[in-house]
Amino acid sequence: MSAVVAAVVVFVLLWPMIPPPLPTHIRIGTGPLTGRYHAFGKRLAARFEEQGIAVELVPSEGSVQNLERLHDGLDLALVQGGVIDRDDVKGVRGIGSLFYEPIWVFHRHGESFELIRDLKGKRIAVGSVGSGTLPLALSLLAANGVREHVLRIGGDKAMEALRSGAVDAVFAVQAPTNEWIHDLVEDGAFGLMLFVRADAYAARFTHLEVLDVPRGFVDLERDLPSEDIRLLATTANLLMRDGLHPRLVPLVIELCRDELARGSMLASPGVFPSIDKLDVPVSETALRYYRSGPSFLYRYLPFQVAHTLNRLLLLLIPLLTLLYPLSKGAGPLYRFVVFRRIYPWYRVLRELEDELARSKTPEERATVVAHIHELERATAEIHVPVRYAGELFALRRNIAAVLRRAGENVSFAVPDA
């Protein structure tokens, strides 16, 4: 009983540490259907499905909307750096940064916009509502004392507004491969603001990184840009809701690592995923994984197999706690079971022996003797392991001895004492 109690106590203590089964379905917030976030989400979903986990991609207007939805049903979401206030983070944790996203500030030619503060009094497109560009642009403008004449439009609408003269400058956070970034860099009617104070911005805004973009980086054939430039960049970050299955986090990191293994135009292989530029608290599970890597099982076995074995090993601990003392009692228990086949017959033999002593007539004696012969035949059918054969032999010898005292001839040889 004490072993059972010990096993129950161990199981209760271990239960919170035993990870539940992996979910078979998760939801990931991406971005506009034509954007880079959604394209990355589709590649990540394909890798998840190889692991037996179905993924529902949830498009959105952008990072701000994704962040809001993490509190309302999403498991993972792609969110641009600089969108969230680190001091006001609730229910969200970071898994890793995935790639750089350069910040482009285009303006109409003929204007002298060397610094962001030079945009004072100008009409500025700062990104659409729900996008990550909007809060990032507003924070950079506010740091330079620019708070007026901002228009909350982005993407194609912002480019059309710049071309038509409806705005004087446009903020965009886009990959250098974006088509309209190519068009604006090439078009002589527009200039690109060079972040001459890029180091100062990176020092003040920890989620920003300085990128030195070489001549021809955007397009070698068209020599775009036609000179070396410095840009600021933020990062695309993968965030999770609090309560996400802890064993999913290492899987997510490994799948992202596989997807990003070749690097990109802006980052060498091995740079991402990373936690260096996350502007939200890092998941404790992710932090341990980045520092220590996968455990033994996860290093050498497929993820699903390793997860199942890990759960089984934890569940075996209370079972072994119970089995160890039981194994010590297995021998006595087995002997008890074997002896139960033999010793009850002694009680029958004793009763028959007493009846034999009390019998007064030949008929009564003959009846008792017949019963003893039946007992002899019954015990001859008993089978026990060889190591316990001596106990059975002793029983049959005692039966034979009673028959001999009754004057019967017996086939069972009884050795002389």
Does residue 266 surpass a pLDDT of 70? Answer: yes
Q: What is the pLDDT of residue 414?
A: 43
Neighbours of 72 (CB within 10 A): 7
In angstroms, rounded to a whole number, what is the distance separating the alpha carbons of residues 23 and 2?
37
Q: What is the pLDDT of residue 59?
A: 95
**Of 87-91, 272-276, 393-397, which has the strongest mean pLDDT?**
272-276
Q: What is the pLDDT of residue 416?
A: 39
User: Which tens digit of pLDDT belongs to each residue from 41-62?
Assistant: 999 999 999 888 999 999 998 8
The secondary structure element, H or E, covering residue 354 is helix 344-358
Q: What is the pLDDT of residue 386?
A: 83
Max alpha carbon distance in the chain (Å)? 141
Q: Average of pLDDT values for 347-359?
A: 82
The b/e string for 347-382 (b: 16+ C-beta within 10 A; e otherwise) is: ebbeebbeebeebeeeeebeebbeebeebbeebeee
Proportion of the chain above pLDDT 90, given as a percent: 37
Q: For residues 382 and 346, is the Cβ–Cβ distance under 8 A?
A: no
Does the CA dihedral 84-85-87-88 come out positive or negative?
negative
Does residue 214 surpass a pLDDT of 70? Answer: yes
Q: How confident is the model at residue 417 (pLDDT cuts 50, 70, 90)?
A: very low
SS (H, E, C) 301-318: CCHHHHHHHHHHHHHHHH
User: Which tens digit of pLDDT belongs to each residue from 143-163?
Assistant: 999 999 999 999 889 999 999
Does residue 348 surpass a pLDDT of 90? Answer: no
Q: What is the pLDDT of residue 55?
A: 96
Q: What is the pLDDT of residue 16?
A: 55
Task: Name the nearest CA neighbour of 152 among 144, 163, 161.
Answer: 161
In angstroms, rounded to a whole number, what is the distance separating the alpha carbons of residues 385 and 333?
15
In sequence order, which residues have a C-beta less than 8 Å from that of residue 224 and are 6 or more positions away? 182, 185, 186, 216, 217, 218
Tokens of 368: 């008792």
Q: What is the pLDDT of residue 20?
A: 62
Q: Is the peptide bond before 23 cis (omega within 30 degrees of 0)?
A: no
In sequence order, which residues have a C-beta less than 8 Å from that of residue 365 and are 6 or more positions away? 356, 359, 406
Q: What is the pLDDT of residue 66?
A: 93
Tell me the whole-structure pTM to 2 decimals. 0.68
Q: What is the pLDDT of residue 111?
A: 73
Proportion of the chain above pLDDT 70, given as a percent: 83
Does residue 345 surpass a pLDDT of 70? Answer: yes
Q: For residues 250 and 289, is the Cβ–Cβ distance under 8 A?
A: yes
Q: Which letter does DSSP use for residue 333 in this model?
A: H
DSSP SS3 for 41: helix
Residue type for 395, please? L
Does the CA dihedral 127-130-132-135 come out positive or negative?
positive
Averaged confidence pLDDT in the chain: 83
User: Which tens digit of pLDDT belongs to each residue from 221-248?
Assistant: 888 888 888 899 999 999 999 889 888 8
